[in-house]
Amino acid sequence: MKCRTCGSKAVINMRQHKLALCKPHFLEWLPAQTERFIKKYEMFTRYEKVLVAVSGGKDSLSLWNILIKLGYQADGIYISLGIGEEGGYSDLSRQLCEDFSLDRNQQLHIVDVKKEFGETIPQFAQRTRRGKNKACSVCGLTKRHVMNQVAQKFGYDVLVTGHNLDDEAAVLFGNTLHWAGEFMLRQAPVLPATPGLTRKGKPLCRFYEKEMAAYAILSDIDYIYEECPYSIGSTSIYYKHQMNLLEHDNPGEKSHFYLRFLRAKDNGLFAPPEIIKQDLHECSNCGQPTSGKDVCSFCRMLEQGNEHLERSQVN
Ligand code: SF4
Ligand code: ZN
C-alpha cells in the first residue's frame, strides 16, 4: 500500500476514507482535518481560551498535542477520580498528564475528587442510589460538574473533550435503540454556551478510534494503555462492538451513521432548534445551572452521601 500523497510506503490504510498515508503525511493530515472540523462546526478561534479535559488516554492527550501544534491557547484539566490501588489507574494517568504538560510547558489544572468532595468515585458509587453502571454514572456527573466549575472560574471560552467517532457513534446507537430523544437533541460536535455553562466542543468527533490510536503511537505520546476497570463489560463497549461489526462489512458505516444523524438534526427532524431550549435555573447549593427542582443532580448526589454517612455514624 502506498501513500496517496508521496507514493512511499503507507503506515495506515483508512478504508472508510479510501485513503492510505505514510507516517509524515498522516501526521500532517490528522491535525489539518482537526482544524477543518474546528472551523466547520465553529468550535473556537485562536483568540479564545480553550480548556482540554485530559484523562491520560490516547484521545485526550492527542487532542491537546494537536491543539498546541495548531497554535491554539489550550490548557489542560485532569480530574483525579481515585480509581484503582495506589500507583494504579488514577495515579498512573495523573502522572502521564503531569509529564505531558511539563514536557510541553503547558498549564494543567488538577482537581482531586477526594480532596475536594471528601470521597473517591468508587466510594461515592458504593452508596449511591443511582442504578446500573453506578460508578460511571457518578463519575460522569462529577466530571461534568468539575469541568464546568473550573472553566467558569478561570474564564475559559470553551471546554473540549477527546471523544472520537467510535464514542459518538456508540452513544448515538444506544440513544437510538432507546429513542432517547432528549439526549439525541444534545448530541453535537459543539454545544453553545448558556448562562453558567461553558461552550463544549469535540474536535475529534469525526476520527475513527484506530486513527487516533495510530496518531498517538506515531507521535510518541505516552498514554495509559490500561482501560478504567469500570469500563469492562459496560454498555458503551458493547455498542462499540456492534458498530464495529457493521463497519467491518460496510467500511464507512459508522461515519455515515453519525454524519447523517447530524444532518437530519440540522434539518429539524427531531425538533425545530428553538424548542431545544431547556428551562434552567441556578442550583441553590453550588450555583451551577440545573433543570432540577432546587439543587442540581451533583449536589443531590453529595447530599445522599452525607445522609448515608450520618446514618452509618449513628448506627
Ligand atoms: Fe469514569 Fe466509568 Fe469512564 Fe471509568 S469508565 S473513567 S468510572 S466514566
Ligand atoms: Zn449544585
Above 80 in pLDDT, residue 308? no
154: Cβ contacts below 8 Å, ≥ 6 apart? 49, 51, 109
Above 50 in pLDDT, residue 57? yes
For residue 139, the CA-to-ligand 2 centroid distance in Å is 15
**Which of 270, 122, 264 shows the shortest CA–CA distance to 183?**
270
Ligand that lies nearest to the alpha carbon of residue 298, given by its number in the listed order: 2
Q: Write the residue with the smallest CA distance to atom 6 of ligand 1.
A: 228
Q: What's the rounded mean pLDDT across residues 262-266?
A: 93
What is residue 213's predicted lDDT score, i.e. its pLDDT?
Answer: 98
Quick check: 216 and 64 in contact, CB under 8 A? no
Above 50 in pLDDT, residue 315? no
Please give the grid coordinates belonging to residue 6.
Answer: 508521496
What is residue 252's predicted lDDT score, i.e. its pLDDT?
Answer: 95
52: Cβ contacts below 8 Å, ≥ 6 apart? 60, 63, 64, 67, 74, 75, 76, 77, 160, 161, 162
d(CA 63, CA 56): 11
229 lines ligand 1 (CB under 6 A): no
Please give the grid coordinates belonging to residue 305.
Answer: 452521601
**DSSP state, 194?**
B
Q: What's the rounded mean pLDDT across residues 281-307?
A: 88
> For strand 190-191 and strand 158-160, is the pairing parallel, antiparallel, or unpaired?
unpaired
Above 50 in pLDDT, residue 177? yes
Query: What's the sign of the alpha-carbon dihedral 85, 91, 93, 95?
Result: negative
What is residue 46's predicted lDDT score, i.e. its pLDDT?
Answer: 97
Q: pLDDT tens digits, residue range 71-119?
A: 999 999 999 999 999 989 999 999 999 999 999 999 999 999 999 999 9
45: Cβ contacts below 8 Å, ≥ 6 apart? none
Q: For residue 118, is it left (φ>0), alpha (ψ between -120 and 50) or beta?
A: left
Quick check: 13 and 36 in contact, CB under 8 A? no
113 lines ligand 1 (CB under 6 A): no
Q: Write the residue with the smallest CA distance to atom 2 of ligand 1.
A: 136
d(CA 198, CA 157): 7
What is residue 304's predicted lDDT score, i.e. its pLDDT?
Answer: 81
Q: pLDDT tens digits, residue range 110-163?
A: 999 999 999 999 999 988 766 567 899 999 999 999 999 999 999 999 999 999
Q: pLDDT tens digits, residue range 224-263?
A: 999 999 998 889 999 999 999 999 999 999 999 999 999 9
Where do the domains of the chain lie, and which CATH numbers do they carry? 42-277 (3.40.50.620)
Q: pLDDT tens digits, residue range 24-56?
A: 999 999 999 999 999 999 999 999 999 999 999
d(CA 247, CA 239): 12
**DSSP state, 17?**
G
What is residue 77's predicted lDDT score, i.e. its pLDDT?
Answer: 98
The atom number, within ligand 1, closest to the CA of 229 reads 4
Which of 94, 123, 139 to mutate for ligand 1's pocket (most ligand atoms within 8 Å of CB)? 139
For residue 84, the CA-to-ligand 1 centroid distance in Å is 12
**Which of 56, 57, 69 shows the shortest CA–CA distance to 30?**
69
If pLDDT is split at 50, 70 and 90, which confidence band does 270 have?
confident
301 lines ligand 1 (CB under 6 A): no
pTM comes to: 0.92
> Residue 207 burial (CB < 10 Å; 0-12/13-18/19+)?
buried
205 lines ligand 1 (CB under 6 A): no
